[in-house]
């Protein structure tokens, strides 16, 4: 016959142990969320990279790459960080899109970018330059397949895209929305090929301006610029003759494993390439982890927001 007192004596400590473990797990989870929201979300970093793509003997050329600001009114820490970047005095600013995360954020965005408009710049849009974000299950971002364009969701409100682009243009920045253009800065001829957002399926590659690229007396470099680094987009830039490619969109994975190991790229790019410099057929691809997040998913974990100072150097 089973002694009920004996059973109770063994079961009660086990239940208390389970309750303690469950409580510790909940506390750890809450602490992680608090860290990801209250600390890392505003733990802005400056990453530096060097890309040896210029002709031999060409002086260094410095590019400030910013992306995925997802601006919301009142983000003072982000504004202060963007203002501080002007002290770097880059030769060029490249903005790879997803600038807004709120219908009323355009004034805040233009204030944050104000000092950077003093430098030459180029830009392409992302989906959150066109449509305001909507609430979705955060787990969907981590586990959904995203290997093709998702199309435009009809319930999403339209952002003031044209006003934003008009403001960029008025301050001297050059739009690369399915178009090619050239700029000569500090003696370097920069040839750009830019596309509209591949994530929305709006990309239509223009190639590069058919000029005497190799015959120019000034040193030249060809740069591809996009928001979302889908493989089809990177391959097309490579085929067109890009010597380096700049992109954003991935948020570096946003919620990563320790060491910054991304679980997703939010496109068909290998998550291991979601941030930093990797190669596409020997062409360097510089991908930004971005400066913000959707206002409906305001967390980052093991993936701080960043701007990147990329120095183009002469080939070895």
pLDDT in tens, 201-226: 999 999 998 765 566 667 899 999 99
Pair (85, 190) in one structural domain: yes
Pair (218, 307) in one structural domain: yes
Q: Which tens digit of pLDDT belongs to each residue from 13-71?
A: 665 666 665 555 555 445 556 556 657 999 999 999 999 999 999 999 999 999 999 99
Report the CATH number that the domain containing residue 212 is assigned in CATH.
3.60.21.10
Q: Which tens digit of pLDDT belongs to each residue from 8-25?
A: 565 566 656 666 655 555
In whole angstroms, give the CA distance from residue 148 to residue 254: 20
In whole angstroms, give the CA distance from residue 252 to residue 78: 18
Pair (69, 182) in one structural domain: yes
Range of 270's domain?
46-314
What's the pLDDT at 150? Answer: 46
Pair (37, 77) in one structural domain: no
Residue 273 sits at φ, ψ, to 5 deg, of -105, 15
What's the pLDDT at 139? Answer: 54
Pair (3, 51) in one structural domain: no
How many domains does the chain divide into?
A: 2
In whole angstroms, give the CA distance from residue 250 to residue 228: 7
What's the pLDDT at 151? Answer: 46
Pair (30, 83) in one structural domain: no
Pair (166, 37) in one structural domain: no
Helices (H) and strands (E) in the chain, counts: 6, 12
Confidence grade of residue 229 (pLDDT, cut at 50, 70, 90)? very high
What's the pLDDT at 11? Answer: 58
Pair (11, 52) in one structural domain: no
Pair (30, 63) in one structural domain: no
User: What is the DSSP code string of 75-142?
Assistant: -HHHHHHHHHGGGG--SEEEE-S--BSSTT-HHHHHHHHGGGGGS-EEE---GGGTB------HHHHH
What's the pLDDT at 152? Answer: 47
How does strand 188-194 pair with strand 179-185?
antiparallel
Output the six-digit token pair for 220: 């030249």
Percent pLDDT > 90 in the chain is: 76
89's torsion region: left (phi>0), alpha (psi -120 to 50) or beta? left
In whole angstroms, give the CA distance from residue 185 to residue 50: 18
**This prediction's pTM:** 0.86
pLDDT (average), residues 105-133: 97
How does strand 244-247 pair with strand 276-280?
unpaired
Pair (89, 217) in one structural domain: yes
What's the pLDDT at 193? Answer: 98
* Cα 290 from chain centre: 4
pLDDT (average), residues 121-128: 98
Residue 302 sits at φ, ψ, to 5 deg, of 55, 35
Pair (20, 83) in one structural domain: no
Pair (34, 160) in one structural domain: no
pLDDT (average), residues 238-243: 97
Closest by Cα among 298, 251, 62 to 146: 251
């Amino acid at each position: 016959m089973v002694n009920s007192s004996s059973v109770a004596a063994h079961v009660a400590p086990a239940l208390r142990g389970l309750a303690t473990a469950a409580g510790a797990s909940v506390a750890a989870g809450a602490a992680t969320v608090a860290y990801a929201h209250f600390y890392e979300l505003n733990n802005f970093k400056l990453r530096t990279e060097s890309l040896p793509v210029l002709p031999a003997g060409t002086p260094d050329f410095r590019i400030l790459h910013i992306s995925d600001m997802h601006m919301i009114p009142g983000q003072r820490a982000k504004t202060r960080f963007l203002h501080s970047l002007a002290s770097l005095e880059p030769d060029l600013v490249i903005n790879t899109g997803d600038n807004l995360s709120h219908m009323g954020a355009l004034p805040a965005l233009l204030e944050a970018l104000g000092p950077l408009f003093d430098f030459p710049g180029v830009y392409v849009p992302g989906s959150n330059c066109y449509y305001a974000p909507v609430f979705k299950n955060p787990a969907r971002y981590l586990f959904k397949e995203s290997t093709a364009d998702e199309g435009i969701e009809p319930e999403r409100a339209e952002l003031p895209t044209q006003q934003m682009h008009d403001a960029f243009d008025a301050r001297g920045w050059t739009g690369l929305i399915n178009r090619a253009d050239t700029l000569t800065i500090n003696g370097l001829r920069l040839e750009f090929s830019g596309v509209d957002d591949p994530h929305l399926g709006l990309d239509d590659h223009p190639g590069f301006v058919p000029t005497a690229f190799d015959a120019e007396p000034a040193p030249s470099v060809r740069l591809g610029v996009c928001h979302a680094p889908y493989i089809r987009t990177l391959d097309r830039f490579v085929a067109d003759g890009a010597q380096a490619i700049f992109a954003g969109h991935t948020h570096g994975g946003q919620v990563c494993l320790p060491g910054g190991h991304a679980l997703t790229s939010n496109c068909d790019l290998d998550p291991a390439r979601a941030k930093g410099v990797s190669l596409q057929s020997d062409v360097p691809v510089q991908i930004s982890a971005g400066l913000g997040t959707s206002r409906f998913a305001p967390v980052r974990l093991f993936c701080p927001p960043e701007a990147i100072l990329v120095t183009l150097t002469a080939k070895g």
